[in-house]
Structure 1
């Protein structure tokens, strides 16, 4: 049975059904994994989150190619994501049916070694209002604030490489989420900071919320003249496009989008697409058309991930299809230095070559995309290429966005290292520090 045949046989099953770790054994057996391999996957899922749904399982994964299928790898834990000794230890606990608390404690110890909050995302950029630190709000850049509604702290499915995996593992100390009443605190903070013109509603996935709940977060922003743009971060177009087409509140959701546009705000749906197959079903095309029909703009982004999309032709195909569907390619990210980063990371030199080859193969309409970009503590560092300066082979870099606006657009250089996968692996080519290391103390809360 082909992937399309499978989609046709399930086309009437439009209700959302989640699959979690308790379904892993059956699903991985479908991929042909042996009992020992399935146990190892379950061990990894004790540390890192797993969640998928019937749309992904029935219409996106090519089970005839699993476990090598890229969408399968995008969704399912792999035994090599964690150190072998950690996987063996937790698998042993599961094999002997150890007490749940013992398994959880073992998983917690592994998580704490996985850099759960890269770039200090739990501590930095935390706004202060009247002496009170606002939970679930980050003043990321001078003009941009991120808002994490409490109700949006999950997703329709979890990418295996997600840099926000700590949001989903059931440890309250690792979650970023607004308190009840957070939307009013956000408004109060924005009024006190007229320099903020953009709000990004994120999570998790903002589209996991019902239209009614999302309206509660968005409507107060429409009365603020200073707000020019409202962004909504989501993977729903890839993992649950029925949200915008057949879900019971799809019409209400699109009406909310229209209301935002009528209020004179730029509404940007920041859509996460990791692979061209996520753009191939008829329902995703319909969802995209419906969103665009409201006046919203869809911008697309994803990280470069080894074994899933680390080929220029994959990105070329994605960008071409996105442009044809009326979306705007926005970012190619470098995989964040958190979770199973070593498993998914692509060296910066190779990542740049993939970006360049794909970029060179598309028209100017797709060259709105930036990358490869690292989201570091100081800001988004873009790899511009490999050049020779003063007889030295170096990486050319610049900050696309920065906490210190004076650094934006200033070129700087790092010693060439073919194995480097993150900024921390690089050394300054000229001088003893990068310009971004001279920025104001990032530990200071925004107040």
Structure 2
């Protein structure tokens, strides 16, 4: 039976209060439902009718990859934590006690990896601009205040702390004038990335208020929008009441001489199967925008080479550009989803080897770490030592981009901080060697 909730532009969202009823579709036992609810007190849960009805194969739950992509799992957090929270829920403990326990767990999950809270830029004439981040010289990230939610939350999302309702863990801005002023003070910035959350949760009038002022910033070459809407709510561009206005807005960005790039998140080939996805992609491309695709490599969801090569080939035939395979970040339930770097490289290599050159625009596996985007280029043996070969695709210090370096091979390593230098005392980005913070 379809659950009922108020609609937003035809969109029907489900949250933690619907978990029990939704889990009933998959025949999840009552005790396991309790454990899932316990995890959902720590990590955010949100999905929608399109994902639930069109993408999840409920006959294959709990192993279905899309189910695992959006529904918390009872073993996603340490056993002791889940057991304690489940006990509180079973006892009918006060909400304050449950939230206190959940918050204590959250603090251990590295809610803001890569020093994100330290990247908020100085405001022109004031102290800071939470929601405006300047990590790389040519790129500024903007977190629009009205875009700090999603059509559905991915269980692996590294921005989970934005969605749990804790003000101290959130950052966002509605100060588009402040952003424009900052850009004019920093002419080296040529690209702005709208991210969140998902900016495409915003209706066209709100999105227009953010985009149009940027069209007058002459130095800007590109505007990027990070979004999973094509996977989780493609109707946004096909049948929603403001779909036509949104597409006209995209066209106006292109007509103003800016490259409009959709940074589309597709985590599994099934997300591209519904015909409405192809319709949405075609309509976006018709505005002159480009669509580049990216996703992290996630254990139990997409950790097979064939899934990635299938995704890249399908994206190519639809007119999209394969862009990034990411490594699961060092935050949230990383221990549950992470794939060892050695295995990640093998998956990327095997998928990359099985596609045509037109798909080989993709890069990875890449770690979005503090010094920049670190790519694992391979595993080899040099002077009798087995090593990872790496390079920085992007870096806070541009001098480091493209320069290969080496780390000792570690079969258990899942993140940059697990690695140790090979043939050197320190990595080239070691803060002991240079201050990597951008100047104010």
The TM-score normalised by the length of structure 2 is: 0.97
Residue in 1 aligned with 2:330?
337
Conserved 8 A contact 1:404-1:440 = no
Conserved 8 A contact 1:165-1:339 = yes
Q: 1:440 to 1:403 in 2, by over 3 A?
A: farther
Deviation at 1:446, TM superposition (A): 4.0
Residue in 1 aligned with 2:246?
253
Conserved 8 A contact 2:120-2:130 = no
Residue in 1 aligned with 2:341?
348
Residue in 1 aligned with 2:6?
none
Conserved 8 A contact 2:120-2:129 = no
The 5 Å alignment of 1:124-163 reads 124=119, 126-163=121-158
**Is 2:42 aligned against 1:41?**
no
Paired residues, number? 434
Deviation at 1:442, TM superposition (A): 5.5
**Is 2:284 aligned against 1:284?**
no
The 5 Å alignment of 1:355-394 reads 355-394=348-387
Deviation at 1:127, TM superposition (A): 3.6
- Which residue, out of 87, 98, 110, partners 2:82? 87
Q: Distance in 1 between matches of 2:222 and 2:75?
A: 41
- Which residue, out of 119, 134, 155, partners 2:114? 119
Residue in 1 aligned with 2:19?
24
Q: Distance in 2 between matches of 1:443 and 1:44?
A: 36
Deviation at 1:131, TM superposition (A): 4.3
Give unpaired runs (5+ residues) of structure 2.
Answer: 3-8
Q: 1:160 to 1:95 in 2, by over 3 A?
A: same
Deviation at 1:129, TM superposition (A): 2.6
SS state at 1:435 partner: coil
Deviation at 1:439, TM superposition (A): 7.6
- Which residue, out of 306, 312, 315, partners 1:313? 306
Deviation at 1:379, TM superposition (A): 0.2
The TM-score normalised by the length of structure 1 is: 0.95
Deviation at 1:79, TM superposition (A): 1.0
Q: For 1:28-76, what per-residue CA distance to the aligned partner results, in whole angstroms no more than 9, with x for missing partners?
A: 1211211100000000000000000000001000111111000000010
SS state at 1:294 partner: coil
Q: Distance in 1 between matches of 2:395 and 2:122?
A: 17
- Which residue, out of 417, 426, 429, partners 2:419? 426
Q: Distance in 1 between matches of 2:184 and 2:432?
A: 26
Q: 1:327 to 1:425 in 2, by over 3 A?
A: same
Residue in 1 aligned with 2:224?
231
Conserved 8 A contact 1:127-1:445 = no
Conserved 8 A contact 2:292-2:320 = yes
Q: Distance in 2 between matches of 1:20 and 1:442?
A: 43
Conserved 8 A contact 2:231-2:277 = yes
Q: Distance in 2 between matches of 1:84 and 1:237?
A: 35
Deviation at 1:445, TM superposition (A): 5.8
Residue in 1 aligned with 2:407?
414
Deviation at 1:126, TM superposition (A): 2.9
RMSD after superposition: 1.5
Q: Distance in 1 between matches of 2:127 and 2:238?
A: 41
Residue in 2 aligned with 1:244?
237
Q: 1:134 to 1:284 in 2, by over 3 A?
A: same
Q: For 1:74-119, what per-residue CA distance to the aligned partner results, in whole angstroms no more than 9, with x for missing partners?
A: 0100011111111111111111111111111111000000000111
